Amino acid sequence: MSACNDARNGTYINMVNKVLEINYEEFCCIDELESGDKALAQAAVEAIKGSYAPYSNFNVGAAVRMSDGRVFTGANQENAAYPSGLCAERTAMFYAHAHREGAMMESIAVAASQNGVLCPSPATPCGDCRQVMAEFQTEAGKPMSVILVGGDRIWKFPSVDSVLPFIFDSL
Ligand code: THU
């Protein structure tokens, strides 16, 4: 009898419990980051100024660092027809990718504010943005770090895999 048949009878022979562990770093403030990450985090905070969010009043900025050192920023852009808007992360990544000139994405930082105040907790990217990060990490062929900036704490994930486990990758 195969293991599957046994499972149907309520007897699990080959099933194994697995646990996924995600390691990331927490910093208390932007000044605690190393210089490259600090500059990227600051660029993400600065990019919030470009946000157009009259519907949600949730202002998000993102900054992408390329392998050649260039930094591209973007902010969320909303629209009266809600789905027509775009998150800050994808605005920044698509802008960066359109100007990549052979460079690859190395890192992305994200920050959000409400009523002009940086959100205390780090803003965490939506699933669509994580999938787009995954695509560009695959293109780069090496880990792309993700830095989520909050007023009270900052999280640094070593790669997109940490924020999007079991990445779908058709390439
Ligand atoms: N938003 C982002 O720009 N990035 C995120 O990580 C989460 C959400 C935007 C989309 C929309 O303009 C507003 O925040 C509220 O969801």
59 pocket-lining for ligand 1 (C-beta < 6 Å): no
User: CA 96 to CA 65: how far, in whole Å?
Assistant: 9
Cβ contact 92:73 at 8 Å = yes
pTM over 0.75: yes
Cβ contact 146:108 at 8 Å = yes
92 pocket-lining for ligand 1 (C-beta < 6 Å): no
Residues catalogued as catalytic:
89
Hey, is 51 helix, strand or coil?
Answer: coil
Segment 61-92, tens digit of pLDDT: 999 999 999 999 999 999 999 999 999 999 99
Segment 5-56, tens digit of pLDDT: 555 666 667 889 999 999 999 999 999 999 999 999 999 999 999 999 999 9
Helix (H) / strand (E) containing 111: strand 105-114
